[in-house]
Amino acid sequence: MRQPSILAVGVLLLVIALIGAIGIARPARAQDGGHGQGHGERHDWYRALEQPGTGLSCCSGRRVAPDGGVEGDCRPTRAFRGDDGQWRALIDGHWQVVPHHVVLDPALNREPLYAHVCASLAGLVYCFLPGTPGG
């Protein structure tokens, strides 16, 4: 019976490492702006954010699971500022213009690598926190 070559074993180990790296990278999906994705981990912070000019919380999340899981409308997302100066955020898989009046002070962003959006299932944006460029 033939023994596997060192090259074959090396290729197999590389494939396994790549599959593992893809699995580790999966949490990045939380930045696709999907409703509720990534909310639970940041719920307390999101609740402290206020809608500009209203004093109302940006977050309408609620605890829904016995394990303390939280469902809500705030989540990390990707965003960019267009040539017109208007922010656009990825919200539930669609790029959407962010109204100027809901943009919060970027200094409030505890995770400035990412933008954060609080929006309803219908796409109404309550609050938006810019991230670093390209974030």
Per residue in 30-52, pLDDT (tens digit) is: 455 666 666 667 878 888 899 99
Bigger pLDDT: 4 or 48?
48
C-alpha pair distances (Å), 87 with each of 16, 48, 82, 123 = 40, 22, 6, 15
**Is the model's pTM score more than 0.85?**
no
**Is the confidence at residue 21, as pLDDT, over 70?**
no
Neighbours of 130 (CB within 10 A): 22
